[in-house]
Structure 1
Amino acid sequence: MDLAICFALALIVLPLYVFIIKRRYQRVPPGSLGLPIIGQSLDLLRAMRANTAEQWLQERTKRYGPIWKLRIFGTPTVFLQGQVANKFIYTSDGSLLSNKQPASIRRLLGERNLLEMSGDDHKRIRGALLSFLKPEALKQNVKKMDEEIRLHLEMYWHGEEEVKVLPLAKILTFNILASLLFGMESGARRDKFIELFQILTDGMLSFPINLPFMRFSHSIKAHMKIKNMLSDLLHEKRAALEQQVPSTNQDLITCMLNLRNEDNSAALTDEEILDNCIITMVAGHDTSSILITFLVRLLAGDPSVYAAVVEEQEEIAKRKASSEPLTWDDLAKMKYTWRVATETLRMTPPVFCSFRRALQDIEFGGYVIPKGWQVIWTLGTTHMDENIFPNPSKFDPMRYEQATPPPFSFVAFGGGPRMCPGYEFSKLETLATIHYLVTRFRWKFSIADNSFSRDPMPVFNQGLTIQIEEKKQFDI
């Protein structure tokens, strides 16, 4: 009797279950998942390296609409675009979308970094980073940043006739970060850090297969060495605090070690400090160096923008002695230069795409994003929307003079509660570097082809090689 009842219930429940599952997947966005595991991963990576990834995505958007599915890096994925999608992504709480990144990124940046956090953990970690990166704290570090830029130019630019901009910009931004975030002075340890970080970032968008001949394997080894070096540095900073050794500069590690809960326990674990030092270094090192390189390329090819930037920067320099460092007030006056940087970020954002993971079935735009699926969006698709930015293919820094873009339309630094905590740091770093470049040097391209590809960050042909000429007494 019991068996008959169970059989009858199965006959009723099973078709209902199949109907629900079928209906659920009928509402999944259109598109193709492609081959198992591989999906469209190789096609997308090839398009990125050919710098045609935006076109690759837009071709599919024209075919399927603004919401469509694909499979990348082994995971079924939904592509979203537009201002509404940006707002949904950046404001969703931790119950809908998690910050879980592709396996390659997660394993290289650590499980407890800000990109992986949601809800209260995200607020706690972001607050810890902002305690060091907020404007009030950064004002104390402008002089140190200025010193690093001057030293870099003396070592790598002055006396040279030709330089490769991107490799030098990476050295500069790394040294600034190492000095200000970690309190790490120049020397062998800092040089080893920059070498290892470059190997780490090379494998961030790769298949997470740890075999000796794979790029990901080299990046994993670099990650372990970086973490060990940072762990040694953390123990040194903790020992100095316990011994109450005075320090003239407050670095990020010391700042995070000093953060306490109400019961005086440590606000962050050692793992959280280490992982967020790595993500801060990776984010700050690559994005700022690439923005500086894009600006050097732009100024070499656009005489009118170059002239306006030089005029603004020389006006600031004329009021200062040559040995006098830039101040917070000087940087605040560089309004046109920052508009140029903002327009550069709009048209060529260093970061191509970002990821989230659906924690439950999500209804969006008339479709269902199934639980466990990945969500991907790109910055450039909204930045080039003519309904938001008229004539989007035209470089026009004055579009920001009268009004700021609508919320969640310019997302080079994220948006809402997901705004990048390093925004002000990157702004100061970029403005100070451009100030010294345009007041001390003139330059022109050494080769005709100054294009770039993405791997996953922009990589320039021959590192963007330029011929430089020093200005006599900076022509001021």
Structure 2
Amino acid sequence: MDSISTLTFSLPLLVILLSSSFIYLFYLKRNSSNPEAPPGSNGWPIVGENINLGLLGPPKFIQKRMKNFSTDVFKTSLLGEKMAFFCGPQGNKFVFTNENKLVTSWWPKSVTKVLLFTEVIDQDQKIVAPLLANSVHEILKPEVLKKYIAIMDTMARQHMDTDWAPNKEVKVHPLTQKYTFALSCKLFMDEDDGEKVAEVLDNFRIVTNGMISVPIDFPGTAYNRAIKGGKVLRDGLIKIIKTRRKELTESKEIVRHDVLSKMLLVRKEDGSLMSEKEISNNIIGLLVASYETSSVAITFVLKHLAEHPHIYNKVFEEQTEITKSKKHGELLTWEDIEKMKYSWNVARESIRLAPPAQGAFREALTDFKYAGYTIPKGWKIFWNVNTTNNDPKYFPNPEKFDPSRFEGSGPQPYSYVPFGGGPKMCPGKEYARLEILVFMHNFVKNFKLEKMIANEKIVYLSTPVPAKGLPVRLYPHIKQ
């Protein structure tokens, strides 16, 4: 004791360490009181296992805990919530087939606080209002999306001419973000003002980079920047919505067929129209779902095409045949998209190796049993793609890039679920397919590419992204 007391500068640190250890042990004891709960770790107080998840990335984080605890389900603490990770095809199937029975949709408060007007969110934190859900599904049906293909193709051509062709070297990820966001703004809001779209995108990047970070709202943190960016984003959307509402009431000549136009006409159960804030929440939900994951998917498709020239050549041959069947300047059609079977298998294999969406959250509606463990009511649940995509039981030699995996009957049911499944399957699945294939067509008919960083690190923000943006060297095809 005497020796410790003489080192007065060490006392504060010692007190902190002992206090932290006591709190940590108390926290573990308190959270291990349910012996029937899944095995796992709650991490440290307040931060839980957020730091471990950020350092390891979802694939390694999940793989390590499956090895240490259970290959069926394990518990953790993320985003301030007790959480159970469901693993494997069986876990995916259980969640998908028990929607609105044992589990329901849930969004972290950290996300809703950053993105949305929280005062108009219902108790279930649904981003897309139930009244609007049917309209969104109608808009995203294949027969309706067919009408969008020409717009997608036109914008992709313009994008290649303005942002790719003038450059010998580019960073892929920022450019794919620019393209997918501009497309979403055009189709969802009929907004094509380049400066306005760019301004919204800048704030969107800040928001998406910080909304899944540790929710500590101190100046300088990613979460603090996300909150500030979210306010600017919402304010900008409110201006657009008010302008469109005024246009709708004052000018009957203008007819638009975008999602925003439909939202402005949706009436709630009491007969009133949706407020600007409610519409903003729904538009943001659609933009998040359509822009971020699509840009990442396209980025990794180009990454894999650069890494596998023989795969690129096959895609080029398929797309060249489609180009030859068209008149000069003729836009792509649904029939053309249906011919891109090999290209879509390439995209699916790329999504398997680098899934843009890691999974989705649910909340337990009641206590229930799974794999011999009890999941208590109120616990949050995360179904994910990382427990199957790299498992040799479902994908032999999983590190190999092999589009032939998706030929014939394809993967085992519930082993490949990039768009979810069951009643809550992503309604934008077909939209994403069209967006990716139209982009692939326009890219490969114009360029070959070469990676400039051989082993570029992949980092995890809200999605996996190349740390340097995937810089590539472009080699334009010689025009015949």
Residue aligned with 2:252, SS: coil
Change (3 A) 1:58 1:455: same
Cα deviation code 1:160-184 (max 9, x no counterpart): 1111111111001111111111111
Determine if contact 1:77/1:376 at 8 Å carries over to the other structure. yes
Q: Which residue, 163, 166, 186 being the options, matches 1:159?
A: 166
Shift of 1:124: 4.0
Name the counterpart of 2:96. Answer: 90
Name the counterpart of 1:18. Answer: none
Superposition map of 1:304-319 within 5 A = 304-319=310-325
Change (3 A) 1:97 1:262: closer
Point out the more displaced range, 35-44 or 410-419: 35-44
Name the counterpart of 2:220. Answer: 213
Name the counterpart of 2:347. Answer: 341
Superposition map of 1:230-245 within 5 A = 230-245=237-252
User: What 5-or-longer segments of structure 1 have no aligned partner?
Assistant: 1-20
Determine if contact 2:132/2:263 at 8 Å carries over to the other structure. no
Are residues 1:297 and 2:295 paired? no
Shift of 1:309: 0.4
TM-score, normalised relative to structure 2: 0.87
The aligned amino acid for 2:357 is: V
Change (3 A) 1:262 1:215: closer
Cα deviation code 1:182-232 (max 9, x no counterpart): 111223211111111101101121122322222112211221222222222
Name the counterpart of 1:9. Answer: none
Change (3 A) 1:275 1:390: same
Determine if contact 2:129/2:282 at 8 Å carries over to the other structure. no
d(CA) in 2 for partners of 1:261, 1:115: 16
Change (3 A) 1:104 1:23: closer
Cα deviation code 1:11-69 (max 9, x no counterpart): xxxxxxxxxx9998110111222222222211111112xxxx42232122122112222
Determine if contact 1:94/1:118 at 8 Å carries over to the other structure. no
Name the counterpart of 1:279. Answer: 285
Residue aligned with 1:101, SS: coil
Name the counterpart of 1:60. Answer: 65
Name the counterpart of 1:16. Answer: none
Change (3 A) 1:139 1:258: farther
Residue aligned with 1:467, SS: strand
Are residues 1:222 and 2:229 paired? yes
Name the counterpart of 2:56. Answer: 47
Name the counterpart of 1:360. Answer: 366
Determine if contact 1:312/1:334 at 8 Å carries over to the other structure. yes
Name the counterpart of 2:22. Answer: none
The aligned amino acid for 1:315 is: E
Are residues 1:457 and 2:463 paired? yes
Number of residues of Structure 1 aligned to a counterpart in Structure 2: 448
Determine if contact 1:98/1:118 at 8 Å carries over to the other structure. no
Name the counterpart of 2:5. Answer: none
The aligned amino acid for 2:285 is: I
Point out the more displaced range, 347-356 or 434-443: 347-356
Name the counterpart of 1:178. Answer: 185
Cα deviation code 1:381-440 (max 9, x no counterpart): 122333333333332212222114344221101111111111111111111111011001
Residue aligned with 1:242, SS: helix
Change (3 A) 1:413 1:236: same
Shift of 1:71: 1.6
Shift of 1:453: 1.4
TM-score, normalised relative to structure 1: 0.87
Change (3 A) 1:405 1:246: farther
Shift of 1:466: 0.8
Are residues 1:194 and 2:201 paired? yes
Q: Which residue, 40, 56, 75 being the options, matches 1:31?
A: 40
Determine if contact 2:62/2:386 at 8 Å carries over to the other structure. no
The aligned amino acid for 1:169 is: T
Shift of 1:117: 5.5
Name the counterpart of 2:477. Answer: 471
Identity %: 35
Cα deviation code 1:128-153 (max 9, x no counterpart): 21122211221222111112111111
d(CA) in 2 for partners of 1:140, 1:377: 33
Shift of 1:249: 4.5
User: What 5-or-longer segments of structure 2 have no aligned partner?
Assistant: 1-29
Determine if contact 1:24/1:368 at 8 Å carries over to the other structure. no
d(CA) in 2 for partners of 1:109, 1:130: 22
Are residues 1:203 and 2:210 paired? yes
Superposition map of 1:78-157 within 5 A = 78-94=84-100, 96-110=102-116, 111=118, 124-157=131-164
The aligned amino acid for 1:97 is: V
Q: Which residue, 329, 346, 349 being the options, matches 1:323?
A: 329
Cα deviation code 1:84-122 (max 9, x no counterpart): 211222232335323222221122233577995679x87
d(CA) in 1 for partners of 2:192, 2:456: 34
Residue aligned with 1:381, SS: coil
Cα deviation code 1:264-313 (max 9, x no counterpart): 654x5544322121121122111111111111111111122111100100
d(CA) in 1 for partners of 2:340, 2:262: 29
